[in-house]
Amino acid sequence: MGEVREVNVKKSVVDSVAVITLTGDLDAHSVELVGSEVLSIMPAHTEVLLDLSEVEHLTSAGLRILLLLYRQGHCLDSAVAVVGLSAELRNVLSASGFLDFFRVADSVSDGIELLVRDVRDDRREPVNA
């Protein structure tokens, strides 16, 4: 079924924000792993930043897992933001309408600041909620 580039999931905590860095392809192969990794973090950390700057390829399934995580975070009162969108990825997200659902930051530090500020200001609602 074509070349499989495994996704790697790396976790760190910065200023109480869980930063999850994904590397590789976010597609049908990897969505289960990514979903379980992020969901396992959410109950403990109310702020999650998904760093996609190392994601090389994103498919429709990958977009759906991102949206699912975002929705799940909303249900758990967790704030989720994404960072590191390449120009191509941003265009795909924008054209397909998925960008409307996400909080997006330009860098990890910006994303952390955005989430911390959201918590401080108690503004955690998704953009389109």
Partner 1 sequence: MPSRHQVRDRIDLFPTHTIAGYGVRAGRTLPFGATLVPGGVNFSVYSGAAAGVSVVLFAQGSRDPMAEIPVPDEFRIGAVWAITVFGLEHEELEYGYRIQERADARAGDRCDRSIIVSDPYAKVISGRNVWGVEPDWSDPYQFRSRLAFDDVDWEGDRPLRIPPEDLVIYETHLRGFTRHPSSGVANPGTYAGLIEKIPYLKNLGINCVELLPVFEFDEFDNSRVNPATGERLFNYWGYSTVAFFAPKAGYAATGAFGMQCDEFRHLVKKLHRAGIEIMLDVVFNHTAEGNENGPTISFRGLDNNTYYMLTPEGYYFNFSGTGNTFNGNNPIVRDFIVSGLRYWASEYHIDGFRFDLASILDRDQYGAPLANPPLLESLANDPVLRDCKLVAEAWDAGGLYQVGSFPDYHHWAEWNGRYRDTVRRFLRGDGGLVGDLATRIAGSADLYAARGTRASINFITCHDGFSLADLVTFNDKHNEANGEGNNDGSNDNNSWNCGCEGPTDDPEIQRLRIRQMKNALLILLTSRGIPMMLAGDEVGQTHQGNNNTYCHDSPLSWFDWSLVEHNAELLRFAQGMIELRRAHPVLRSGDHPTAFDRVGCGHPEVSWHGQRPWEPDWSPEGRLLGVMWCGHRPEGVRPDYLYVAMNAHWESHQLELPGLPVGMCWGVAVDTSRPSPADIVSPGYEVPLAQNAYAIAQRSAIVLLGIDS
- Helices and strands of the chain, counted as H and E runs: 4, 5
Question: Helix axis angle, 60-75 relative to 87-96, nearest 10°?
Answer: 70
Judge whether 54 and 47 are in contact, CB under 8 Å. no
Cβ nearer to partner 1, comparing 11 with 64:
64
Residue from 2, 44, 121, 122 that binds partner 1 (CB under 8 A)? 2
Neighbouring C-beta atoms of residue 123, cutoff 10 Å:
9
Cβ nearer to partner 1, comparing 58 with 114:
58
Cβ nearer to partner 1, comparing 40 with 60:
60
Q: Under the rule (CB under 8 A), what is the footprint of partner 1?
A: 1-2, 27-29, 58-61, 63-64, 67, 71, 91-92, 94-98, 101, 128
